[in-house]
């Protein structure tokens, strides 16, 4: 029997500079604005597209000219505008805030959620709140500013996500380990709701371990 194809919508975190990406990926990419946006997913898209899987990897609006609510609306519009069903939502870093918001708005469209070393909010928390909970000053991370998306608190009903398969992939060598430690504690308190996985790599496994992160996503989400 032929396996049914899956649809993946990939949501990036803070808009990484090409300079940072090139150091991580040992590449020499140049873009018009010097930012990567959704291009951070480029190394894993070919892997995810196997078995005729459909993949969307948009670039979110500039964080200085939009907020978390608008980013959630952007991803929601991609899903509704393309009449997507059974979507695997994948969020990296700040993208965890976005996919949580999207899933609570349209849980019937989502087949599973994948958090890649990502923010895992409770209702009423912002990205900056999560960093502070981990014992770090958000401004201590190079390049991280109090832009609107990062300080906006996400209000949602967590019960809407009950029963929805959720996967967390923690990068053990991440510079955001204090933040992901908070996520790990939340997951440990509700182990039956989660598939918890680890990769021995930095915060951006799409650059350092593209094949391995792709395999983890495919193995845990395909044809749910």
CATH code of the domain made up of 7-221: 3.40.50.1820
pTM above 0.85, yes or no: yes
Tens-digit pLDDT profile for residues 97-140 = 999 999 999 999 999 999 999 999 999 999 999 999 999 999 99
Instruction: Give strand pairing partners of 139.
Output: none
- Counting beta carbons within 10 angstroms of the beta carbon of residue 217, is it exposed (0 to 12), middle (13 to 18) or buried (19 or more)? buried
The dihedral over CA atoms of 214, 175, 133, 189, expressed in degrees to the nearest 10, equals: 40
Tens-digit pLDDT profile for residues 132-161 = 999 999 999 878 899 999 999 999 999 999
Q: How distant is the alpha carbon of residue 3 from its chain centre?
A: 26
Contact 38, 12 (CB under 8 A): yes
Q: What is the spatial distance between Cα 196 and Cα 194, in angstroms, rounded to a whole number?
A: 6
Mean pLDDT on 23-32: 80
Q: Is 170 helix (H, G, I), strand (E, B) or coil?
A: strand
């Amino acid at each position: 029997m032929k396996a049914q194809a899956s649809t993946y919508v990939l949501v990036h975190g803070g808009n990484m500079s090409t300079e940072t990406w090139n150091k991580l990926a040992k590449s020499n990419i140049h873009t018009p604005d010097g930012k990567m946006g959704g291009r951070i997913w480029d190394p894993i898209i070919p892997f995810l597209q196997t078995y005729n899987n459909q993949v969307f990897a948009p670039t979110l609006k500039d964080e200085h000219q939009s907020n978390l609510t608008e980013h959630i609306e952007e991803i929601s519009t991609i899903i509704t505008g393309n009449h997507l069903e059974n979507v695997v939502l994948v969020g990296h870093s700040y993208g965890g805030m976005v996919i949580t918001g999207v899933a609570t708005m349209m849980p019937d469209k989502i087949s599973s959620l994948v958090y890649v070393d990502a923010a895992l909010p409770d209702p009423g928390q912002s990205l900056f709140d999560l960093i502070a909970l981990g014992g770090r000053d958000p401004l201590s991370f190079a390049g991280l500013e109090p832009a609107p998306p990062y300080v906006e608190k996400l209000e949602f009903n967590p019960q809407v996500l009950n029963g929805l398969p959720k996967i967390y992939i923690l990068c053990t060598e991440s510079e955001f380990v204090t933040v992901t430690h908070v996520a790990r504690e939340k997951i440990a308190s509700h182990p039956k709701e989660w598939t918890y996985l680890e990769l021995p790599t930095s915060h951006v496994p799409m650059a350092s371990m593209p094949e391995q992160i792709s395999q983890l996503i495919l193995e845990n989400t395909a044809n749910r």
